[in-house]
Structure 1
Amino acid sequence: MANAFVARSLDEVRFWSRIMKEHSLFLRLGFRAEDTQLINEANQFYALFENIQNRSMAFTLDTDPQVIVRFNSEVHNAVSHIWVFKRKILGLILTCQLPGANNFPLLVDHTSREANYFRNRLDELNNGKLEPLPDAIIDENVFFLRIMADHAKFISHLLDPSERKLVDMANEFSQDFDQLLFQARDIDSMRPQSQTAPILTQFLDQNRVSVKSLRDFKKTASDLISACKIKSIIHPLLADHVFREAERFLFIIDMFEQHLTGTPVTMRDLEEH
């Protein structure tokens, strides 16, 4: 159990600290030149999470669990601060105090939801209170389906309007994931009666098909952006960022299905992800 706690903690911190670091960069790129205080704060968060990411790589599965508990608490504190920063930015945008800036309100809200998800996971790990499998399956899918729907919308709005085919494809993914999210919320509201193995298995299978398609679309878009073959204002790192989050969702779906079917989930699964 101690090794499982360490493996799960390191997996979460390594993945999400990189995401938080990149959020800091994306937000900074969306500020105006005169927003020097916000730019400085974003730079400080970038350095903070880069440090956390680097330190997390020095730990191994043999690290004392108590060391990881303390590290998780430190990371939780950092994530709480960047969550406050993101909500402050959202408030400034929605009250028209950053006219001409280039951060969509939904994008800022999106990044704050991911920060809240991360700190809640750290709380659960340190308190040893991870959700029961049926609840986790529904809650994780509700969370990530909305994230995927957001990504499709961001891609659509950041592509040049002349990229008509790609814009149409992104819009189709947005509609698909909106529908999947509505279905997930229906299953959520039917709890606990909806939490049967057949229903949850079908739920995961259906979501996997759409997530794989979106993941492949993101990979193609990322490659095209890196090769300067399409017109957009999408930063190459942002394209890779949303691709990695789709990969993360697929990993989580696979882990859930392994649990449902009784296939053991090994420490190697967590360490190699």
Structure 2
Amino acid sequence: MRMPDAFVIRSIDEIRFWSRIMKEHSLFLRLGFRCEDTQLINEANYFYKLFEGIEQRSHAFGVNTDPTTIQKFNIEVHTAASHIWAFKRKILGLILTCQLPGQNNFPLLVDHTSREANYFRNRLEELNQGKLEPLQDAIIDENVFFLKIMADHAKFIGHLLDPSERKLVDQAREFSHDFDQLLFQAQDLDSMRPQSQTQPLLNQFLDQNKVSVKSLRDFKETARDLINQCKIKSIIHPLLADHVFREAERFLEIIDMFEAALTGVGKRANLTH
């Protein structure tokens, strides 16, 4: 029996996770449009169905699927991710030029979703080209990306909770501040490359981030459960609450894999998260 191909495993994992995220972005954006924005609504519906189909098809592939088949699938999904990225940037441009007055999508949220689409398509391109970053570079870059995502989430939660939920709003603001600071630290580490890429510094970097991400993950989980039980006053869609929780879980999984890789590092190695 042929051994599972790491390229196949990683590609399927990325597509299963991020195609669901892209599908849900399409729904959230659509819910924020005005009734008269029929063209944008139709485009959002198109992307919802497109990524729903991609997600479903990804589950038909197994770890022993021929790598050539997965490579072709990656190219197809990369095209879809590029198109939804362009759609999101178009929406952002319309909002920032005041051409969609009264719609309910925060500009930062639209920018946030476009950054995730760009991350997704870049990862697929890296996988197909076999040009994955060395471990030390990947640790810094992935953390810079995800710390910004987590900081954004905290800001969105704070703004979408009802103002009367004072304690939860305060907690969200505290998380926003904490993750802004962690992001600044990560950006400082980034600017100090390669001197900052020693294993002790990276271990400390991951440990600190892991503690904070776990706290935010737990906060999101509690908020999600309370929203589902109708115990919180907010305009947060239940699916959005679960969406941001899953992204925090994803970040923790990546940190765990980085930590495992570092423990076995005696030389430069490519990350296989």
Normalised-by-shorter TM-score class: over 0.9
Match of 2:246 in 1: 244
Out of 169, 172, 175, the position equivalent to 1:173 is 175
**Partner AA of 1:260 in structure 2:** L
Match of 2:233 in 1: 231
**Partner AA of 2:142 in structure 1:** E
TM-score computed with the length of structure 2 as normaliser: 0.96
Cα distance in 1 for residues equivalent to 2:16 and 2:203: 28
* 2:46 corresponds to 1:55: no
Cα distance in 2 for residues equivalent to 1:183 and 1:2: 38
* Local SS of the residue matching 2:79: helix
TM-score computed with the length of structure 1 as normaliser: 0.96
- Per-residue displacement from partner, 1:100-132 (whole Å, max 9, x unpaired)? 000000000000000000000000000000000
Match of 1:95 in 2: 97
- Per-residue displacement from partner, 1:2-42 (whole Å, max 9, x unpaired)? 71000000000000000000000000000000000000000
What is the Cα deviation at residue 262 of structure 1? 1.3
Cα distance in 2 for residues equivalent to 1:251 and 1:4: 17
Taking the TM superposition and a 5 Å limit, the aligned residue runs for 1:179-194 are: 179-194=181-196
Out of 118, 121, 133, the position equivalent to 2:135 is 133
The percentage of counterpart residues that share the same residue type is 82
- Per-residue displacement from partner, 1:29-68 (whole Å, max 9, x unpaired)? 0000000000000000000000000000000010000000
Structure 2 unmatched runs, 5+: 266-271
What is the Cα deviation at residue 211 of structure 1? 0.1
Cα distance in 2 for residues equivalent to 1:159 and 1:62: 45
What is the Cα deviation at residue 218 of structure 1? 0.1
Cα distance in 2 for residues equivalent to 1:198 and 1:44: 47
8 Å CA contact 2:4, 2:64 repeated in 1: no
8 Å CA contact 1:156, 1:171 repeated in 2: yes
Match of 2:122 in 1: 120
Cα distance in 1 for residues equivalent to 2:17 and 2:193: 30
* 2:219 corresponds to 1:217: yes
What is the Cα deviation at residue 79 of structure 1? 0.4
**Partner AA of 2:173 in structure 1:** N
Cα distance in 1 for residues equivalent to 2:208 and 2:232: 31
Cα distance in 2 for residues equivalent to 1:114 and 1:259: 24
Match of 2:146 in 1: 144
Cα RMSD (Å): 1.2
8 Å CA contact 2:151, 2:176 repeated in 1: yes
Match of 2:162 in 1: 160
* 2:72 corresponds to 1:70: yes
- Name the count of aligned residue pairs: 265
- Per-residue displacement from partner, 1:193-234 (whole Å, max 9, x unpaired)? 000000000000000000000000000000000010010000
Cα distance in 2 for residues equivalent to 1:38 and 1:70: 29
Bigger CA drift: 254-263 or 217-226? Answer: 254-263
Cα distance in 2 for residues equivalent to 1:200 and 1:142: 13
Cα distance in 2 for residues equivalent to 1:239 and 1:231: 13
Out of 3, 15, 18, the position equivalent to 1:16 is 18
Match of 1:266 in 2: none
Cα distance in 2 for residues equivalent to 1:214 and 1:87: 28
8 Å CA contact 1:52, 1:75 repeated in 2: yes
Cα distance in 2 for residues equivalent to 1:60 and 1:126: 17
**Partner AA of 1:27 in structure 2:** L
* Local SS of the residue matching 2:5: helix
8 Å CA contact 2:224, 2:242 repeated in 1: yes
8 Å CA contact 1:2, 1:65 repeated in 2: no
**Partner AA of 1:30 in structure 2:** G
